[in-house]
Amino acid sequence: MKRLTLVRHAKSDWSVAGQPDWERTLNARGLKDAPEMGRRLRERKLKPDLILTSPAARALTTATLLAKELGLPADKLHKDERLYHASPGVILEVIRELGGTSRHVMIVAHNPGLTEFSDQIASDRRIDHMPTCAVVTGSVDVRQWTDLDWQSAKDTELDYPRNSDGPS
């Protein structure tokens, strides 16, 4: 059994006119929400072995803040340009390439592809929308990531910064 955790990047800053999308950073709320979601994961003992992130500034910063809060060493965070505005099929391909060494993998990426991927990978619930810094996590019954397929995640939970009820 493996665990897959999906994180939409935290709230980005739109205050710089004409700034390229790739370079957009996090705003104050995003800088607060990412560590908070990391703390929630840590409290639930959901520490990934590996974080794969889009290298866009807002996703990379989110991933870095999560890794810090989870006590994950910097060498466990890997950038993959294919995760920048990736489609569900590309996200699946990136994960399948991991083979079998990691037990718990976290992906930090963008909407709409991440919400669509979440919805297609979950066998037990529909994920209609992942707000900024939302976390979807579930168990997948595969020996190798190469075996990951649609509708294979179960016990899927969704949490997000403004969710006062905790994961659902």
Task: Report DSSP letters for 67-98, one per residue.
Answer: HHHHT--GGGEEE-GGGTT--HHHHHHHHHTT
Round to whole Å and give the CA distance between 8 and 48: 16
Take residue 157 and report the two structure tokens written for it: 């939970």
Q: Say whether pTM exceeds 0.85.
A: yes
- Please report the pLDDT score of residue 166 as a whole number: 65
SS3 of the chain: helix, strand, coil, percent, to 5: 35, 20, 45
Cα–Cα distances (Å) from 76 to 65, 71, 117, 122, 163, in that order, read 13, 10, 23, 25, 28
Superfamily of domain 23-106+113-133+141-149: Phosphoglycerate mutase-like (3.40.50.1240)
Take residue 5 and report the two structure tokens written for it: 């955790």
Could you tell me the residue ranges of all domains in the chain? 23-106+113-133+141-149
Tens digit of pLDDT at every position of the chain (168 positions): 999 999 999 999 988 888 888 999 999 999 999 999 999 999 999 999 999 999 999 999 999 999 999 999 999 999 999 999 999 999 999 999 998 889 999 999 999 999 999 999 999 999 899 999 999 999 999 999 999 999 999 999 999 998 876 666
**Burial label, 133 (beta-carbon count in 10 A; 0-12, 13-18, 19+):** buried
- Please report the pLDDT score of residue 165 as a whole number: 67
Round to whole Å and give the CA distance between 62 and 131: 14
- Tracing tokens 């957009």 back to the chain, one arrives at 24
Sign of CA dihedral 165, 123, 56, 69: positive
Closest to 58 (Cα-Cα) out of 97, 102, 2, 9: 9
- Please report the pLDDT score of residue 101 as a whole number: 83
Digit-coded pLDDT (tens) for 41-57: 999 999 999 999 999 99
* 66 Cβ neighbours under 8 A, 6+ residues apart: 7, 34, 35, 37, 38, 41, 51, 72, 106, 108
- Please report the pLDDT score of residue 59 as a whole number: 98
